[in-house]
Amino acid sequence: SKMTVKAVKMPCTSANVYTKVPDGGWGWTVAFAFFVVEALTYGIIKSFGVFFNDLMESFDETNSRISWIISICVFVQTFTAPLSTVLSNRFGHRLVVMAGGLLISTGMVIAAFARSVVDMYVTIGIISGLGYCLSFLPTVTILSQYFDKRRSLVTAVASTGECFAVFSFAPAITALKEQIGWRYSLLSVGVLQLGITVCGSLLRPIIIKEQEEVKAQPPEESTETKYMLENEQTCTSIESIDSGVDITTSPSNVPGKTKAEPKSEEPKQHGQIPVENNSTPPEPKTKLLDFSVMRDYSFICYAFFGLFATLGFFAPSLYIIPLSLSLGIGKDHSAYILSAMAIAEVFGRIFAGWVLNKKPIRKIYIELICVILLSVALFAFPFASEFWGLMTCSIYFGFMLGTVAGTHIPLLAEDDVVGIEKMSSAAGVYVFIQSLAGLAGPPIAGVLVDTTKNYSSAFYSCAAGMVLGAVFLALVRPCKTGLCRRHRHHQQQQQQVEESPPGPPPELPDDFIDMDIGKAENSGKGSDSV
């Protein structure tokens, strides 16, 4: 319990205390911080395709080897997600995000002076990748704690930061490269990412007091009612003959009797209940990472959805510019295609947040529809043969990507998956499972491109992964309802066992009442004779 107090006090030196989830307040500042963090993390990752051709020419490397830079970065970002959860629960979200911002900036600045692609693997892949993990996941987790009714809408709108970043960074970096070269452009990006540390300082912890009070009140009421019931039972057992309890079996007369022992033990047990309840609320805080979510079949299906869907998240943004260049489209127009995709993604995120904010709706089904439509968008890219065809596919893909990318992590807080109480640990495990796809996705696409000499094969591999993700997403709700039914059935069985009479009464003889009546009659005759 002492360790729990220390863990709570450290991040809560300037915590915001509310009686209920505010759905606003300082949460708007946290939403703005999340907007900027999204722009400087995923926005930079998605805009990194601007450097692809420059890196291939400078290091004389193939597509697949250059793809490993972002692949390792995404892998480290997602693989270390449980570490991010542990550090956030121990030291607080603010300190972790600020440390992540420093790591991201350091990795990018050092990468500007890299002499080989292996140096890029270490700087951008490992150092910056770890910083991305420490910055993004704690920010989206604490944002979910500040909102309840508006959670889907606010998270979706705030997540548009990466879209605005891709929209602005892709043309800006392209123009900057022509003036100062790709190395100094990468150095400028690293310095810009220091803004994440400022955003981290805005993440004040939140405390909801009402939850502790509600948990503390019921045990007191239950103990009072149980004491009243015990008194009533004691009175009836002494006064009633049919109850099977003799007058001489009162606790004051016969303290050693077996029937008196339950009554003497029960007050001790009830006296211990308030102490146990007072000590139990801090216990979940001591769990830095809760792997119990892995026993939930609905979460397992949702994790597999994220695993396969991640294959389609990053590769299109990385290969859209090389694909457009292979079709004879100029560099400036290629950057505009990537920017148009980012703008469409903004509208997709806002639209998804607005739809999911509606009350009478099953959010998991809306997500499934969006994933299916996103798969169609990926299959459409290889059929584009000119600028406007590729622009149309990019806008459609960007819109559908926004509906999925901005909601798949916040949906963990829904009851169909794990719920808000386990959201922090579930997010860490969920993103950790995504790391395998983040590592394998871009290199697989790069190998297919090098083998087929056609960038369309990269989009086919992404589409195949997205289809598999849709299959597992469709199984989330059935698994959840099945588990709920099993849980209810198990609870009903436990209730039946608890409500069933205890062991001794069934073993009593059939003439138990007659024996009692006989005793009463004999005692009556004895008194009459006296």
Reported as a single tens digit per residue, the pLDDT across 461-503 is 888 889 998 999 888 888 877 755 555 555 566 666 566 555 5
Same domain, 326 and 186: no
Q: Is residue 295 part of a domain?
A: yes
Average pLDDT over residues 85-89: 85
Does residue 473 share a domain with residue 352? yes
Asked if 177 and 86 sit in the same domain, the reply is yes
**Among 111-120, 175-184, 519-528, where is mean pLDDT lowest?**
519-528
DSSP run (H or E) holding 207: strand 206-208
Burial of 67 (0-12, 13-18, 19+ CB in 10 A): buried
* Residue 267 maps to a domain: no
| pLDDT confidence band for 227 (50 / 70 / 90) | very low
Q: Could you tell me what percent of the chain has a pLDDT over 90?
A: 15
Q: CA separation (Å) from 364 to 155, 221, 337, 493?
A: 16, 39, 31, 30
**DSSP one-letter code for 13:** T
Range of the domain at 148: 15-211
> Does the residue 222 lie in any domain?
no
pLDDT, residue 107, reads 94
Helix orientation angle between 151-158 and 331-356, rounded to the nearest 10 degrees: 170
The H or E element containing residue 506 is helix 504-507
If asked whether residues 187 and 329 sit together in one domain, one would say no
Write down which residue in 194, 211, 228 finishes a domain: 211
| Contact yes or no for 349/160 (Cβ under 8 A) | yes
Residue 228 burial (CB count, 10 A): 10
142 occurs within a structural domain: yes
| Residue 231 resides in a domain | no
Instruction: Please identify which residue in the block is written with the tokens 């307040």.
Output: 25
pLDDT at position 263 over 50: no
Both 192 and 293 in one domain: the answer is no
Average pLDDT over residues 315-344: 80
Would 121 be classed as within a structural domain?
yes
Q: Write down the residue that tokens 């003959």 correspond to.
A: 241
202 and 295 within one domain: no
What's the pLDDT at 190? 92
Residue 328 per-residue DSSP state: T
Please compute the mean of the pLDDT values over residues 324-329 and round it to a whole number.
82
447 or 20: whose pLDDT is higher? Answer: 447
Least confident of 203-217, 238-252, 356-370, 407-421: 238-252
Number of folded domains in the chain? 2
Q: What is the mean pLDDT of residues 67-76?
A: 84
Looking at the structure, do residues 297 and 435 belong to the same domain, yes or no?
Answer: yes
Cα atoms in the 13 Å half-sphere on the side-chain side of 46: 31
Domain boundary among 179, 211, 243: 211
Domain end residue (candidates: 175, 194, 211) = 211
Residue 225 lies in a domain: no
Residues 19, 106 within the same domain: yes
In this structure, the answer to whether residues 407 and 293 fall within a common structural domain is yes
Whether the pLDDT of residue 327 is over 90: the answer is: no
Q: What is the mean pLDDT of the chain?
A: 74
Residue 518 tokens read as: 């006989």
Distance CA 384, CA 317 (A): 16
Look at residue 530 and tell me if it is in a domain: no
- Where residue 29 sits, what CATH number does that domain have? 1.20.1250.20
Q: What's at 24, amino acid-wise? A: G
Is 327 in the same domain as 456?
Answer: yes
Are both 182 and 308 inside the same structural domain?
Answer: no
- Average confidence (pLDDT) over 391-399: 90
Which range, of 233-237, 307-311, 371-375, averages the lowest pLDDT?
Answer: 233-237
Pure H helices in 52-159: 52-59, 63-79, 81-91, 93-111, 117-120, 129-146, 151-158
pLDDT at 192: 93
Q: Are residues 406 and 304 in the same domain?
A: yes
**Structure tokens of 371?**
């994933």
User: Is pLDDT above 60 for 281?
Assistant: no
25: left (phi over 0), alpha (psi -120 to 50) or beta: left
Instruction: Show the tokens assigned to 263.
Output: 């009554």
Contact 419, 296 (CB under 8 A): no
**Residue 216 clears pLDDT 50, i.e. is over it:** no
Beta-bridged to residue 18, according to DSSP, are: 208
Q: Which residues contact 167 (CB under 8 A, 6 or more apart)?
A: 339, 342, 343, 346
Give the pLDDT score at 457. 84
Helix (H, G, I), strand (E, B) or coil at 271: helix
